[in-house]
Structure 1
Amino acid sequence: MAPLAALEPWPAFAVGLGLALGGALLLHAVVYGSLHRIRRTAPERLPLRGHLVLQTEGPARWTLALLALRLVLPQLPPEAAEATAPHLATALYISIVLASAWLIMRSVKAVRMSLGDRLDLQKADNLSERRILTQVGLLQRLINVVVIVVALAAILLHFESVRRIGAGLLASAGVAGIVLGFAAQRVLGNLFAGIQIAITQPIRVDDVVVVEGEWARVEEITLTYVVVRIWDLRRLVLPISYFIETPFQNWTRSSSQVIGTVYLRTDYTVPVEDVREAVGRIVGGSEHFDGETWRLHVTDLGERGVEMRALMTASNADHAWELRCEVREKLLAWLRETHPEALPRTRVVFPDADAHLPHLGGDGVEAGRAVFERGR
């Protein structure tokens, strides 16, 4: 800064400010320009496969610029330093704290995105991947909350008046804690429920659940609420405490494999072995069947017909749904083509057909008897 001493105070400050800001922005452009070239050609050579570069480029630019301004602040001319320097220093301190918090949160987001790229959620058994993704997502949100709280505390404690108030509040911290606890009971309950779910994991991202009578897939888990995607693409938003306090079905808790069921109700004349062979052909030839197992059982004998239940496994809930629909359609077509007499029907049986046809002649009696026989 020696050559600047020969200049007038304001020109010297302007030159110093320009050099500091220019140097900070030039440094940012050179470093991130090089990193972007590496990211486009060989992203595996970069930390977090380039996500860190993309996520921190903006926050890093602001942080470097603010630090450069803070470095040249002591060079402010004396006539302006006494009146404005304290206010400028406070504003720069707050800005640097906020920019640093932003930089940290974007770095944590880059870690989560990089991990998400490495996890294969499309494979059949993705239980461990969903467990990791759920924990990392909740951990990211928890870190963001901590960073925001620490940043706000650092800003507030920078002011002497706030520090004095804080010292006075320590004496009544017990009463204040009780009051705040009652006031924010619901919010804190959801927050602790989110931490509990991150540890115990009754649900995970991409789990198939039944909530409020709806079949849905877990799309997003935050510290305070959960978003599930219903089969018709509607979104149902539930407080996270719902999954701690309310019973619900989780179809993929320990495995993504699902057992599908198809019920078939037929006449007593149905050939069960033929139906079993047909189910085997249909299930075995489906692309949605995982090859694990299938079964056909007669589950009920009612007064109007027979009930059979076909069981079949699929790698996930989506495939199970498609497989069940396919089996129903093809089994119905097979029954109509090969055994139409086995389709459900209602019978009316008279004990003596001749007694109910006294007015008919010989040919009429025979025709009536044939009609009754077909209804038996």
Structure 2
Amino acid sequence: MHVDWTLAAEYLWPIGIALLIGITSWWLLMALTRRLKGREYRRARIARVISRPLAFALPLLVLIPALEATPLQDRWLDQALRLLHIGLTACFVWFLVRVVAAGEQAILREHRIDVADNLAARRIHTQTRVLSRVLMGAIILVGISMVLLTFPMVRQIGTALLASAGIIGLVAGIAAKPVFGNLIAGLQIALTQPIRLDDVVIVEGEWGRVEEIGSSYVVVRVWDERRMVVPLTWFIENPFQNWTRRSADLLGTAFLWLDYRAPIGAIRAELERICHSEKLWDGRVCVTQVTETSEHTLQVRLLVSARNSGDAFDLRCIVRERMLDFLAREHPQALPRTRAELLEQPDPALQAARGRPAGHVRSPGAEDGEPAVDVTGSTPRS
């Protein structure tokens, strides 16, 4: 088999030099990425964002002039260049996604939510996360479109679709309704913010915190460590409770059903003592009120305030426990009980009957006058 080394050299020299430059640049950039791993100063973070996509883009970039310098025929050259352009487009999309993610992380680092007053930080976290995911999705969608448009067949299909855009648009709109519905719901949540990260919400009767807001769903961490996954559109279309919408401060109530002999003044003083001795109380509200009465007991409401819902729940439990212990120890008569007292009193009607003479047997409706028969044995007077 005869090998034309002159023709082979025309292919090997440009491609070999390009591969050598590309592999060397890839190795150097990947080594730089590994060296900067874990370093958190600004230049290191910027270098990490750029270096990895650039490590894959540079070899593809130097291969383009190398292939053009070879005696490849037009058809093969076009196919090879198309593949390289697709690779470069993918690297560019990857770079833009990393830039958006790095910007998101930079904003989140500047606004920490692990502090006591984190309302403004949670608002910024929610907007940043939702908008960054929408932007990433748009970048990826545009990148895929650019890749597909490099194929002549796809361009022809696109032209045919544009000719019948009315019917195709209607069908596509119906098919993509869930996707676009979640996208629009995500933008609404990012702008109006009915929920934010770490908000305390009541969803379908479950108490939990908003743990994650994605591009199509929200993850709610329930109090017993379960995770409830709720579509974004649900929060737009259904009512729900948000306990931290404006502030994390919350009022908590503890109800007691006590006897009518309960000393309300002593209970009020004991509640104030409990509140002042607890760090969970925020110093705003400490109120004792009789809110209801029934034929057996009265209802006493102990109203206290706390900095957040978790503290409010714990404080309510502490108030109940200590108040019941106080009443059982100091005022046991205040605890509810059921009474049954028998009072021995004379019956006025029976007493009157006993005081009458034995012959008095006339009914209340009898006619006035003397009795027809004298049961005493005396004769009636004429």
Identity across matched positions, percent: 39
Q: Equivalent residues in 2 for 1:23-42 (5 A)?
A: 23-25=24-26, 28-29=29-30, 32=33, 36=36, 40=39
1:219 match = 211
After the TM superposition, list the runs of 4 or more consecutive aligned residues in structure 1 that deviate by more than 6 angstroms: none
Q: Equivalent residues in 2 for 1:58-137 (5 A)?
A: 58-76=52-70, 78=71, 84-137=76-129
The 2-side partners of 1:75 and 1:330 are apart by: 88
Q: CA RMSD in A?
A: 2.6
The 2-side partners of 1:266 and 1:251 are apart by: 30
Q: Displacement, 1:237? A: 0.9
The 1-side partners of 2:278 and 2:45 are apart by: 40
Secondary structure of the 2:191 match is: helix
The worse-fitting range, judged by mean Cα deviation, of 324-333 and 199-208 is 324-333
Structure 1 gaps, min length 5 = 356-376
Any conservation in 1 of the 2:274–2:319 contact (CA below 8 Å)?
yes
Structure with max Cα Rg: 2
Q: Aligned AA for 2:267?
A: V
1:169 match = 161
Classify 1:293/1:65 alpha carbon distance in 2 versus 1 (closer, same or farther; 3 Å).
Answer: farther
Q: Displacement, 1:131? A: 0.8
The 1-side partners of 2:15 and 2:174 are apart by: 54
1:21 match = 22
Any conservation in 1 of the 2:217–2:229 contact (CA below 8 Å)?
yes
1:142 match = 134
Q: Aligned AA for 2:214?
A: T
Classify 1:279/1:157 alpha carbon distance in 2 versus 1 (closer, same or farther; 3 Å).
Answer: same
What is the count of residue pairs matched by the alignment? 342
Any conservation in 2 of the 1:279–1:327 contact (CA below 8 Å)?
yes
The 2-side partners of 1:73 and 1:294 are apart by: 81
The worse-fitting range, judged by mean Cα deviation, of 258-267 and 345-354 is 345-354
Q: Displacement, 1:148? A: 1.1
Q: Give deviations 1:25-78, integer Å, cap 9, x for gaps.
A: 2552576477x28x73xx44x15xx544445543332223332333433244x2
Classify 1:308/1:109 alpha carbon distance in 2 versus 1 (closer, same or farther; 3 Å).
Answer: same
1:345 match = 337
Classify 1:20/1:337 alpha carbon distance in 2 versus 1 (closer, same or farther; 3 Å).
Answer: same
Q: Equivalent residues in 2 for 1:288-367 (5 A)?
A: 288-352=280-344
TM-score, length-scaled by structure 2: 0.82
The 2-side partners of 1:281 and 1:103 are apart by: 61
Q: Aligned AA for 1:19?
A: L
Q: Displacement, 1:231? A: 0.5
The worse-fitting range, judged by mean Cα deviation, of 60-69 and 239-248 is 60-69
Secondary structure of the 1:180 match is: helix
TM-score, length-scaled by structure 1: 0.83
The 1-side partners of 2:270 and 2:49 are apart by: 56
The 2-side partners of 1:60 and 1:285 are apart by: 61
Q: Tell me, yes or no, if structure 1 residue 260 matches structure 2 residue 261.
A: no
Any conservation in 2 of the 1:51–1:114 contact (CA below 8 Å)?
no
Q: Displacement, 1:281? A: 1.3
Q: Give deviations 1:263-305, integer Å, cap 9, x for gaps.
A: 1121111111111111111122212112222211111122221
Secondary structure of the 2:284 match is: coil
Classify 1:304/1:72 alpha carbon distance in 2 versus 1 (closer, same or farther; 3 Å).
Answer: farther
Q: Equivalent residues in 2 for 1:179-198 (5 A)?
A: 179-198=171-190
Classify 1:348/1:13 alpha carbon distance in 2 versus 1 (closer, same or farther; 3 Å).
Answer: same
Q: Aligned AA for 2:56?
A: W
Secondary structure of the 1:300 match is: strand
Compare the two structures and name the one with the higher helix fraction: 1
Classify 1:64/1:290 alpha carbon distance in 2 versus 1 (closer, same or farther; 3 Å).
Answer: farther
The 2-side partners of 1:353 and 1:9 are apart by: 129
Q: Aligned AA for 1:337?
A: R
